[in-house]
Amino acid sequence: MDSKIAVESLPYSSTPYPLFKKIRHLPLPVLLASGDDRNRKDARFEYITAAPDKVVKSTGTEISIETHTEKSVFSGSPFDVLAQEFPLDANSTFDQDLPFSGGAIGYFGYEMLHPWFEISPGHEKDIALPDMLIGIYSWVLVIDHVLKKCSLVFRDNCRKELRDEVTKALTQTNDISSGTFNLAGSFISNFTREAYQDAYQKVIDYILAGDCYQVNLTHRFVADCNGDPYTAFTRLQTIAKAPFAAFMEDGDQAVLSFSPERFIQVQNRKVMTQPIKGTRPRNPNPNQDKKNKIDLESSTKDKAENLMIVDLLRNDLGRVCDTGSISVPNLFETQSFTNVHHLVSTITGELEKREDVFALIKAGFPGGSITGTPKIRSMEIINELENVMRSVYCGAFAWIDFNGNMDSNICIRTLVKDKDKIYCWGGGGVVADSVCEQEYQESLDKINLFMDALKSGV
């Protein structure tokens, strides 16, 4: 076991929700949830933490670093600053039964690197969340659903008063209700149907002109809301069962991610990314559901879309991974979720040294499955045609440990609460042979599950 950590056993809990409520009063609480489908290998671990030793935020080119005693503000590139502020521990080791034992957790917003890609701001920043919000945590609660263990992990640098507060909170009874969450109005899209059709046609025009091969076109929905976003998260995750779900709260702002898509995983320098491209809706009728799945698996168009992104990500990983280490062990695998079937491919590689994890996520960000190809030109077109910012949506939620291991999602199926408003996005990849009505419907199929549940009240 890593000599830099102390591990205490707590009673196993089949769900993380009651445990998270116990520590939620602490600053910047985080829950990484994996759903309750134990047939999925990605549903083994769930993580809970709060009260980071250091908080790294970025907005535009401005970075702030906050600790218990001081705050500094300066300009810099977010991933480079994070690498400086979160030095890896050469003596830390990887334990497959305890893959995360503290480190960096948080999100990277979609527009975070726009200044360095020289993409103009374009739109008013009407969601007040930072472009990047990362906490560096010295303790974590790890729930292992395979070994049925609950481990409270403290790193040796965790302050004694924080250890005592966390231990006391987790061992006390907490019967406080989370409260309710309600919409105070209907969801309103930034696009009318006609405006979506116009934007779609401009994407097709760019494709036919040779500017790009694929562009991910998204529309955003916003509604007034009141109540507890954690209640919304727990109820929606019960429905979604997302393997890469995340909840992070900062005052009256919260991120609720129900992502089915892994961005990048690193274990002992071995790299894996699993882009999603290709979607069909689930159907309560088993025969129709099977037909939808077969239709997806036989779709030349969807496979072509998926292959474009595979090639893009092979290139992204190849910029950092060892030469000759890139491979595609799984192409066009069908994975079924609560509301949709997806085509998922797997690309792997290997890093030369653990510190390359920061260069890796920088090279791959944002994920190609939610931009298009080529990446930068597609992002310029997205910035032109989408009349609002994406914020956390289509960014990534990640953990990185002191050994240079990491796991991360693509923030699709992700909602953002900012004060009394909640935002939800839906989109999809447009290619030359796309059909506008089908693309529009697909974008709704991906998120109707969440919007309908919120409309019904949670």
**Cα distance from N-terminal residue to C-terminal residue, the chain:** 42
Catalytic residue among 22, 57, 277, 417: 277
For residue 398, give both structure tokens. 């990640």
CA–CA distance, 160 with 157 (Å, rounded to integer)? 9
| Rg of the Cα atoms in the chain | 21
Residues 181/186/188/192 CA torsion (nearest 10 deg) = 150
Q: Of the listed 249, 261, 386, 439, which one is catalytic? A: 261
Q: Does residue 455 have an active-site annotation?
A: no
- Residue 446 has which token pair? 């991906």
Contact criterion met (CB below 8 Å) for 22 and 174:
yes
Write out the chain in H/E/C secondary structure: CCCCEEEEEECCCCCCHHHHHHHCCCCCCEEEECCCCCCCHHHCEEEEECCCCEEEEEECCEEEEECCCCEEEEECCHHHHHHHHCCCCCCCCCCCCCCCCCEEEEEECHHHHHHHHCCCCCCCCCCCCCCEEEEEECEEEEEECCCCEEEEEEECCCCHHHHHHHHHHHHCCCCCCCCCEEECCCCEECCCHHHHHHHHHHHHHHHHCCCCCEEEEEEEEEEEEEECHHHHHHHHHHHHCCCEEEEEEECCEEEEEEECCECCEEECCEEEECCEEEEEECCCCHHHHHHHHHHHHCCHHHHHHHHHHHHHHHHHHHCCCCCCCCEEEEEEEEEECCCEEEEEEEEEEECCCCCHHHHHHHHHCCCHHHCEECHHHHHHHHHHHCCCCCCCCCCEEEEEECCCCEEEEECCCEEEEECCEEEEEEEEEECCCCCHHHHHHHHHHCCHHHHHHHHHCC
> Crossing angle, helix 356-364 and helix 300-318, to 10 degrees?
140
Q: Note if 261 is an active site residue.
A: yes
Instruction: Tell me the catalytic residues.
Output: 261, 277
